[in-house]
Structure 1
């Protein structure tokens, strides 16, 4: 059953409502989007700029039919660090651009061969659990952040819950924003906010885009071989996200605008981001959670968030201010959002009536859960793959190899 719509994809809320609704998406994606460049040694302001630009490219390719925000992909963290260490940051940028090319290759294959093979390779019995472990695998981060100030985290999460359940009118559709602001104000009373970074930052400054600094990508096969293959795991994640968004907005997005367009949009966004000095991008589960909570599906709202991200990349004081949001506040928000991602994956299984009384289906789901949540690490020579990627690939292989019977396709209620 789809969520009740407040604003549908093609609808545009009035500006007084659209602005805070867009800011909700900015707050939802900001922490994770900025974390990836911080971990990999790239510029957070550049990444903020390229996430906004990449999202606009994605919406252009998909004709504004997929209300998704594109942020930094966690799947690429380890290979980016390895490539940057071995071949330098400019070499790593080439590897990231190559990942975007892999997306484009999948676009071409699907455009020619259609989606039938996708439905066979990625049925709900695989995609549902993968989406669930995407949320579940992120929960340790939420708990670690929350534990640094449990009272602040609980107050933040409590504001989100109260606004979502008991709010009326406009209050009901901006719970994430209210929770972030309310949690931040409470954190100030607890002495958990350090304003030093805000005082040191200038007001306006150009992001250090590679075309401005002269640090353009430098081609090296080694960096390409390290980073490009990870795109496959990210593509599986995109398929799961697209199905979840489709369920949320009650649209068959796999066919209209089509998975091939989604992958092309993501690939072009990643190529543009890497060329400018940013990191690879992917559709963001955090923002899917915002769609589910607010029931505002407007593509214009998400596009507004992209424009805000671009503008904010020029405002150093804002970037510094957002980075002063204490971890317990982020923990309180992500407890809700990451749990929502997992719950939506579960809903996908339930609505597709996947029969878990069948041993074949049960084994596939169980293996994906264990490997994904457990964070399995698989090594092939110098390459290492961990967590969601290997779990998804092994789940796909099990689905293809294990014999299928009529009982496996029978609805769970039978």
Structure 2
């Protein structure tokens, strides 16, 4: 392992600090603003809360973990379902309860250790659920790419589809053919090139930019002010089970990040601290109208390439995100991004999510010659992608990926053949 240019606790010089922090902000920028646009939230709030959540995370992990928290893609479908049934406020309340799950899990880990969690969420459960998350969104991505937005006719448009293709190809080329930092920002670069192409073919309405102020307060959603605080069983069962996936994702990121910076983050500052930091970031975000948060692989990739591990650089990126969220013209510019461009980049992003589930299965050597593994994965995939639901009443139902995740965990625990040997926690 090559030596760090700046270690975790080291502070860079001012000029270097600014450039390195901006680099991290742009690495997460495209994905972080895409999520709120897909679920009807404010991109400005997403940026603002990503910065706040990151600062909270760094404080709770005692300035030991250089991780950036951005918008979580795992919650896109649950937020959409919650919004359809009870409004966007329901989704925010659901996200608050997800953060409560994080707090409970971190408390149990603090008292009992983390091995039980690794056994409860093995790759044969988490992998297929991640695949479901990606493929369940595939129809949304394709519709966005091929059609004119609803307000403009909602019909198939080859012109709009061409913008999606240009965006998609740009992201692919950046990811495959370029090295270093460019390869870590295919989302942002794809959106920029797709936007420029869309301007050339005349499918952008610039009115909102002209009307926007240079500085603007992000659109907050406060419980009790902008929506009523109402909790239903359906809401809980739509949102809360997704914590199964996001906590697994969190553990994976901590293991990978620990290897990059040559530290054992599972033990110090401890998985309980990092999970509660992640959960508190999600709670604060949802409290003001932002999407749930997760540690970002894009920023871990930036750390790996630059060998700059300084947590102060991450904090700088968080401060830039907060600053950018108040730039009204910039946020208005983001609003003008054509739906087709977002659809094009979503085709790649959602496919990568599904493929990362496949990769988890491959990396962990899951044997599909084993009937047990075949049954668990098959049931999860069909229930999740097929949109199965269990209705207990008109106001209480469990469906889709939430139902798939719950059934996957249950099958893994009850089917014969569960290995009793200790799992490799990856921390040695």
Q: Same fold, TM exceeding 0.5?
A: yes
Question: Once the 2 structures are TM-superposed, how far is the Cα of residue 300 of structure 1 from its aligned partner?
Answer: 6.1
In 1, distance between residues paired with 2:365 and 2:328?
Answer: 49
Structure 2 vs 1, CA of residues 291 and 375 (structure 1 numbering), >3 Å: closer, same or farther? farther
For the structure 1 residues 165 and 108, does the alpha-carbon distance in structure 2 shift closer, same or farther, using more than 3 Å as the test?
same
Match of 1:281 in 2: 292
Alpha-carbon spacing, 1:223–1:401, altered in 2? closer, same or farther (3 Å): same
Deviation, 1:223, is 2.3
How far residue 399 of structure 1 moved from its aligned partner, in angstroms, is 0.4
Aligned equivalent of 2:331: 319
SS at 2:214's partner residue?
Answer: coil
Q: CA deviation at 1:126?
A: 0.8
Match of 2:54 in 1: 55
| Selected match of 2:33 from 11, 30, 33 | 30
Q: Give the Cα separation in 2 of the matches to 1:408 and 1:151.
A: 53
User: How many angstroms does 1:9 deviate by?
Assistant: 8.9
Q: Do residues 390 (structure 1) and 403 (structure 2) align?
A: yes
Shift of 1:36: 3.0
The match for 1:308 is 320
Name the CA distance, whole Å, in 2 between partners of 1:354 and 1:408.
Answer: 16
Partner of 1:159: 170
Task: Say whether the 8 Å CA contact 2:135–2:354 is kept in structure 1.
Answer: yes
Contact 1:94–1:223 (CA under 8 A) maintained in structure 2? yes
The correspondence for 1:215, drawn from 225, 247, 266, is: 225
Aligned residue in 2 for 1:118? 117
Query: Residue deviations 1:23-68, cap 9 Å, x none?
Result: 1311111021244344xxxx55444422331232133323452634
Q: Flag structure 2 segments of 5+ consecutive residues without an equivalent.
A: 148-159, 423-428
**In the TM superposition, what is the alpha-carbon distance from 1:290 to its structure 2 partner?**
7.1
**Contact 2:54-2:67 at 8 Å conserved across structures:** no
SS state at 1:404 partner: coil
Whether 1:339 aligns to 2:339 is no
Contact 2:180 2:305 in 1 (8 A): no
Q: TM-score when scaled to structure 2?
A: 0.78
- Contact 1:5/1:295, CA 8 A, preserved across alignment: no
Tell me, in whole angstroms, the C-alpha distance in 1 between the residues paired with 2:409 and 2:221: 38
TM-score by length of 1: 0.80
Q: Is the contact made by 1:68 and 1:302 (CA closer than 8 Å) also made in structure 2?
A: yes
SS of residue matched to 1:223 = coil
1:266 aligns with 2:305: no
Paired residue for 1:197, among 201, 204, 208?
Answer: 208
CA drift of 1:205 comes to 2.2
Gaps of 5+ in 1: 410-414
Alpha-carbon distance in 2 for matches of 1:147, 1:278? 30
One of 359, 366, 369 as aligned partner of 1:354: 366
